[in-house]
Structure 1
């Protein structure tokens, strides 16, 4: 049973490690994930946090501090897009609307062309039938 859970645990550990690395960076995630006693470089913000906490270290307080730090990182990464990016988005939307309108107009032109071709063919068929009536093979009259 233990050997079956090990690959799942390793996969979960790897995914957690990647996620923490993307949020806090490699050194900070290694600091929290590695249980080894070897000295690791402690991030400056974590050292400052420990100094501020002094003797009031608790898991809840540490967790709240880390949550606040990650929220700050997320807020900094969600800055307003630059004017160039905004203009590019507006240009693409405008281009898409223009292309959509042109495509619709091309479709309407195709429909109009098909309608006029059908009308023309109907007129030609009526004219041909009027000028050249169908030959009567005597099918309707029966044998004489």
Structure 2
């Protein structure tokens, strides 16, 4: 009896929460958008047969780590089947891409260094201009004009 009362109370709480959420979503987005968020997806999601077979093979040893390992092994086998022997052409392409990446990395660093060099020279130039301006136009002495001397 107590369990039934608890289950009934939980159902009432769920229903109340659902109604409050529904009203809140309607106030935010309107009724059609709220229904979109609240209703289950209309598209059916079929589980691939290979995944069902994989889950059946795992039985009690179903964990995220083992599932991930099994899917990784399956992907590796698929890639191996699609390209059984890596040709020299593919190896050369990989080497070329690595070399291109290293070259781009060097170029990016050289561009960065040229930017730093440019900023340093601009700072030196601005410092020289400021020194020249101060030399020919000394700062105004405010004490003289205010009669503080």
TM-score range with shorter-chain normalisation?
Answer: 0.3 to 0.5
The normalised TM-score by structure 1 is 0.46
Taking structure 2 as the reference length, what is the TM-score of the superposition? Answer: 0.45
Larger radius of gyration, structure 1 or 2?
A: 1
Higher relative contact order (CA 8 A, sep 6+): 1
